[in-house]
């Protein structure tokens, strides 16, 4: 996921389970949007167990990012256009 | 047009129309049995007339490449991110989906493949914590599970038991 790796992001959770990422977003993010696996975020299909919950706090996006060897990371990044796109396409 | 593929004493003839393929999604190769079981599964699939395609990260693919340099068992190999993108965009479909699962990331990949394709996946569960990992699966899938970390035989036996059924019924 070259696009994601080139972003300025903060790692919220490292080596977490998909359930832990979902719980964190539900408990800490002001706005939650549900998407299906394969939904494109930063131009790459998202990996996860549905329902995948993405957090939105204004223009800040909090989302899970899975790698085979490192498990799932929960990342947070500020991106106005992607936040708007996710808000318009995801299920609330 | 017929295609004949020989595997030791076993041989099969598959017509182009009947040709089937299977996507094998590999996990992190940190558990030693993964590559051995993947190669064995490719061999068994070929004897059943199914062409295997391997998806994995670079380390997982190179394990297969180095173990089977002439691609006697393996065939096409694709990067896992490209593979998921192709499935998500509907550019590629397979007859069977088999996902190697030994950790939470494996569950995420299996769920993603199932959700995108709408097909039942085969989760190949192995590793020290195969039972606990398997219990977290809540989506439609067939589980082939054994406690196999260094010795692939328990998982090989399970594959021998269920693979003909999988190829006939999924």
- What is the reported pLDDT for A74? 96
| Separation CA A47–CA B84 (nearest Å) | 8
Helix (H) or strand (E) holding A43: none
| A43 found inside a domain | yes
- Contact list, A66 vs chain B (CB under 8 Å): 105, 108-109
- What is the reported pLDDT for A15? 87
Beta pairing, strands B121-125 & B96-101 = parallel
Measure the CA dihedral B100/B65/A4/B31, to 10°.
40
pLDDT for residue A87 is more than 50: yes
Domain coordinates in residue numbering, chain B: 18-164
| A52 found inside a domain | yes
ipTM for the assembly: 0.89
| Separation CA A7–CA B118 (nearest Å) | 32
- Give chain A's domain count: 1
* Mean pLDDT score of chain B: 90
CB contact under 8 A, A66 and B109: yes
Containing structural domain, residue A54: 17-89
Would you place residue A91 in the very low, low, confident or very high pLDDT band (cuts 50, 70, 90)?
Answer: confident
- CATH class of the domain whose range is B18-164: alpha beta
- What is the reported pLDDT for B170? 81
| A4 found inside a domain | no
């Amino acid at each position: 996921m070259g696009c994601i790796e080139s972003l300025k992001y903060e790692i919220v959770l490292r080596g977490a389970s998909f359930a832990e990422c979902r719980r964190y977003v539900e408990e800490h993010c002001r706005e939650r949007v549900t998407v299906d696996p394969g939904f494109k975020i930063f131009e790459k299909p998202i990996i996860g167990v549905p329902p995948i919950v993405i957090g939105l706090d204004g223009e800040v996006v909090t989302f899970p990012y899975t790698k085979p060897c490192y498990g799932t990371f929960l990342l947070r990044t500020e991106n106005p256009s992607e936040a708007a796109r996710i808000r318009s396409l995801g299920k609330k | 047009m017929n295609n004949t593929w020989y595997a030791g004493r076993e041989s099969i003839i598959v017509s182009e129309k009947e040709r089937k393929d299977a996507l094998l999604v590999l996990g992190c190769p940190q558990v030693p049995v993964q590559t051995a079981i993947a190669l064995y599964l490719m061999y068994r699939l070929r004897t059943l007339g199914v062409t295997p395609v391997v998806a994995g990260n670079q380390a997982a693919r190179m394990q297969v490449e180095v173990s089977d340099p002439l691609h006697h068992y393996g065939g096409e190999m694709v990067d896992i991110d490209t593979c998921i993108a192709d499935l998500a965009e509907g550019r590629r479909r397979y007859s069977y989906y088999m996902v190697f699962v030994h950790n939470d990331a494996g569950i995420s990949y299996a769920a993603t493949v199932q959700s995108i394709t709408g097909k039942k996946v085969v989760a190949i569960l192995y590793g020290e914590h195969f039972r606990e990992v398997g219990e977290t699966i809540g989506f439609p899938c067939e589980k082939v599970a054994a406690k196999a970390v260094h010795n692939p035989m328990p998982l090989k036996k399970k594959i021998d038991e269920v693979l003909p059924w999988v190829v006939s019924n999924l």
